[in-house]
Structure 1
Amino acid sequence: MKNPKITVAELQRCSREMGESCRKSTITAVLHQSGLYGRVARRKPLLSARHMKKHLKDSKMVRNKILWSDETKIELFGLNSKQYVWRKPGTAHHLSNTVPTVKHGGGASRCGGVFQLQGQDDWLQSRER
């Protein structure tokens, strides 16, 4: 697909301009048959060509030294991501349809480590607020 951010309404308008009108549900069904589904776009930092070139150069140097690395973030209260729920109209306020939160997020802890060709590196741990 040339423009993955195009909406179904825009596709419907384009098909109408080309002389073929069809419903939004038909367009959605065709997209689903093609393996395309609507999802939330991932947030990534904006990188310039200079940033990407430098990162690639640094990555090639480090790649030959590291065998394995891992990092994890442990949320101390709840999940820090979108959560979806199936519910009936008018039940958005029910406790089973809500996600509890705490002020300032409740904190998190990050742990990680690296196995290099020379041996195991120390495990790192940091506390987040």
Structure 2
Amino acid sequence: MIERGFASREIAAKIGCKSHITILNLKKKYEKTSKVEDKQRSGQPRKLNERNERTIIRRLMTNECSNAVQLKKSLQINDEINVSSNTVRRALKRNGLSARVKHKKPLLSKKHCENRLKFAKRFKDWTVSDWNRVVWSDESKFQIFGSDEREYCWKRQGETLKDAHIKPTVKFGSVSVFVWGCFTSSGVGFLCKIDGGLNAELYRQILSEDFMETLRYYDLSVSDVIFQQDNDPKHTALLTK
């Protein structure tokens, strides 16, 4: 369009460019270099090339390393490349990876995984009516204060601190409530608060009272339901069975 005699303002208007100065700058650059691409920026070249970045991604994905610090040490020992942890983090971000807080999950051994797979295969063909027969139960501790879980809030930059932005803590430690509970396909069962510890004798008392009361409340008989519990020693004790 410049060669056809259009003014810079006309060109900017036709192509939707906000400033005609941009057109003039591109014209000058093309007249000097016969190109419109930006020149290579000055500064120190990257310490990690594409091959190095593929290496650290492979080590991360194969669980050889799990964080930037370990990747930095791995590069130093195995590849004789000395970089900072922040350099590794920037390389990971360039390749679409981002850091996240690890989720807490129970530690599973190889035997646990095998048993879970067997369980899934055994019950994969169950229907909804089959699962409706199951009464699920477990014990749980609810911490009133001092929970280890992270809590997040949203606030504007520069906004003063409000109650909604604070997670309250107490000096005397955590306060918790320990309970046993169960639920059926029809609804939740009776909740039993446990003071102190739970032993096999107390667990059997809970089954004979709270569990049986739950069945009576939903008009269920023992022969109609499948009681689900975990393999806690109190649950698997001979007298409990």
- TM-score normalised by L of structure 2: 0.34
2: distance between equivalents of 1:36 and 1:11?
Answer: 15
1: distance between equivalents of 2:141 and 2:123?
Answer: 30
Report the counterpart of residue 92 of structure 1 in structure 2. Answer: none
Matched, 1:78 2:172: no
- CA RMSD, 1 decimal: 4.2
Cα offset, 1:11, TM superposition: 1.3
Instruction: Specify which of 66, 71, 76 is matched with residue 131 of structure 2.
Output: 66
AA of the residue aligned to 2:175: G
Report the counterpart of residue 93 of structure 1 in structure 2. Answer: none
Instruction: Specify which of 189, 193, 218 is matched with residue 127 of structure 1.
Output: 193
2: distance between equivalents of 1:30 and 1:82?
Answer: 30
Matched, 1:56 2:117: yes
AA of the residue aligned to 1:44: P
Cα offset, 1:109, TM superposition: 3.9
Matched, 1:11 2:81: no
Cα offset, 1:3, TM superposition: 1.4
| Corresponding pairs, count | 114
Greater Rg by CA: 2
Cα offset, 1:26, TM superposition: 2.0
Change beyond 3 A, Cα 1:81–1:63: farther
Deviation by residue 1:66-114 (Cα, 9 ceiling, x = unmatched): 25988896836225324479xxxxxxxxxx6872265573314454423
Cα offset, 1:44, TM superposition: 1.1
Report the counterpart of residue 175 of structure 2 in structure 1. Answer: 105
Cα offset, 1:62, TM superposition: 7.8
User: Greater helix percent: which structure?
Assistant: 2
Matched, 1:42 2:104: yes
Which 5+ residue runs of structure 1 have no aligned equivalent? 86-95
Q: Which has the higher contact order (CA 8 A, sep 6+)?
A: 1
AA of the residue aligned to 1:125: L
Report the counterpart of residue 25 of structure 1 in structure 2. Answer: 86
- 8 Å Cα contact 2:141-2:176 kept in structure 1: no
Change beyond 3 A, Cα 1:25–1:84: farther
Percentage of identical aligned residues: 8
Which 5+ residue runs of structure 2 have no aligned equivalent? 1-60, 153-165, 196-241
